[in-house]
Homo-oligomer: A and B are copies of this chain.
């Protein structure tokens, strides 16, 4: 089932997506919402991030080739993570499917995409074993962890390198039935041309490993999201470019880059 969050004529709702139609519900997906019977065309809505998380987690470096290429780009030795230390991103930066990514006037040339699978938490969880870890996951969506590499390299934190407004597209919806994670493929296209394709689950530390490690020390809450990192490197994105991230059985997250006015 695909759960979207959207704005229709100024009203923000969740709904169930079926082809080009969304059936509105009252409430939020992980709290047994009621169907209202109202339907709307996907052409008549604005897509919103499918959830605004209480805490926005991100694995960051979690695919081997990406670690090596990122290290090379910033002139450091590759440092493959030895344990699943989770990181964070910021809610201010979130936008939905089809919203524009705004490149700040003073950004450098290296504005990059990172196409990631995102686990959406549906149940409060602490002290989960690896075996039970996925029991707290409601479904999956797609994230684009956009990064300005000069700022990422030069600043003391990743505040503007990763968390500038509009730098965190997420969507288009939450899919509850992705099937076998090992059978998913992530494909990124820029202006219709495939720039990278990789097995989504080819992570250094997989989702159960992260959730089990995290919940030793922290409580996960419904609506929390965990962005699982991306493989490879990105070309430099510029105003006018359209970035599409597709993950098997989830869908396509599409965003256009524009210049700050």
B-binding residues in A (CB < 8 A): 52, 54-55, 60-61, 81, 83, 85-88, 90-93, 104, 126, 155-157, 159-160, 163-165, 214, 217-221, 224
Contact = CB atoms under 8 A, between A and B. Distances in A.
A85 B160 CA distance: 8
A78 B54 CA distance: 34
A54 B92 contact: yes
A93 B218 contact: yes
Contacts of A60: 156-157
- Which label, helix, strand, loop or mixed, suits the secondary structure of the A interface? loop
In the complex, the count of this chain's copies comes to: 2
A159 B86 contact: yes
Contacts of A220: 92
A241 to B, nearest CB: 20
A47 B60 CA distance: 35
Contacts of A160: 217-218
Nearest to A214: B159
A195 to B, nearest CB: 26
A214 B90 CA distance: 13
B221 A157 contact: no
Given A52-B54, A87-B159, A159-B217, 14 more contacts: A55-B90, A60-B156, A60-B157, A83-B156, A86-B157, A87-B156, A88-B88, A88-B159, A92-B220, A92-B224, A164-B218, A165-B217, A165-B218, A165-B219
Given A54-B92, A55-B90, A218 B159 contact: yes
